Amino acid sequence: MAVAQITNITETEKIIITVITDNLADALRLDCKIAKRPTFAKNPADVIFHAEHGLAYHIETVVDGKTHCCLFDFASDAKGVLRNLDLLKINVHAVEALATSHDHFDHNAAMVEVLRAKKAEFRKDLPLYIGEQFFAGTYGKLPNRPDIFNINALKREEIEELGFVRIVEVNAPTEMIPGAWLPGKIEQSTDYEKILPMFLAKKDGEFVQETFIGEQAVILNAKGKGLVVLSGCGHRGIVNTVRHAQKVTGIDKVHVVIGGYHLINAKPELIQKTVADMKAINPDYIIPTHCTGFEAISAFAREMPDQFILNTAGTRYFI
């Protein structure tokens, strides 16, 4: 697969990544390294965040002294996401772009309801960046179940009916806000990061193996520090995603790798290969979230303790 390049990727003077929601919430966890946890002023309930099997981010960049921000992924429980947005005091009017990593419900089922609830606050003609084949349909089949089930949650017409969102399909590296890039098609270069056979797509009326060819991540270049790579699920492989970011930017130094690594229920040898390659990449911080799975998170914490940060819903990362 030919890889399009990002030439002269913008250096960001400051990056703030806020995890709006994730699988884990913890009201008592202390600040850690670049992670700032929510604190309460008057009421402890102010830091009781919604958590779910889902993921949603707010990304803020500062380029040439100007602040820009976007939303990336939206999780699945709209009430929980809306609560967390309010607890975090996120100003959605400042949001310049929307994007979603892929078409699974745990990354976008809440999107339409959240956008509808805050329609008066969002800007008009707001771009929503999606990957290739986003609306083609995505399905799953568990080993212990005979049925095939739909795991997509969004319909194009529901988004268009909102009246203020413009759908933009991404096929090549695309800057959605200054300093924050979507990679286009993520190259698969490792020999062990395989897409699970449980994930299916439909082609010519037949179910075939899903490729996640349209899956997106976010790539940022922190001034003087290196790349920040933010993953949704990493179905095409978290090592593949990071290596692809290095390749398309021409920057080897990686500062932060944050997001879902999709190693839940993975065999120990797959986890160990991933950890070994991540140790070779040697990011300054590693922050596995969402679908990484307890065993893989534990392995990263054990084998990369100086770089590891445990994520919780509501955490902000200051870079």
Count the Cβ atoms, other than its own, within 10 Å of residue 276.
11
Using the predicted structure, report yes or no on whether residue 1 has a pLDDT greater than 60: no
So what's the pLDDT on residue 150? 93
Using the predicted structure, report yes or no on whether residue 122 has a pLDDT greater than 80: yes
105 token code pair: 């419900």
pLDDT tens per residue, range 246-276: 999 999 999 999 999 999 999 999 999 999 9
94 token code pair: 């400042």
Using the predicted structure, report yes or no on whether residue 41 has a pLDDT greater than 90: no
pLDDT tens per residue, range 5-29: 887 899 999 999 999 999 999 999 9
Of how many residues is the chain composed?
319
Task: Measure the CA–CA gap between 44 and 267, rounded to whole angstroms.
Answer: 39
Which residue ranges make up each domain of the chain?
Answer: 11-318
20 token code pair: 């709006």
C-alpha dihedral sign at 176, 181, 301, 295: positive
CATH 3.40.50.10260 fits 11-318, yes or no: no
Whole-prediction pTM:
0.96
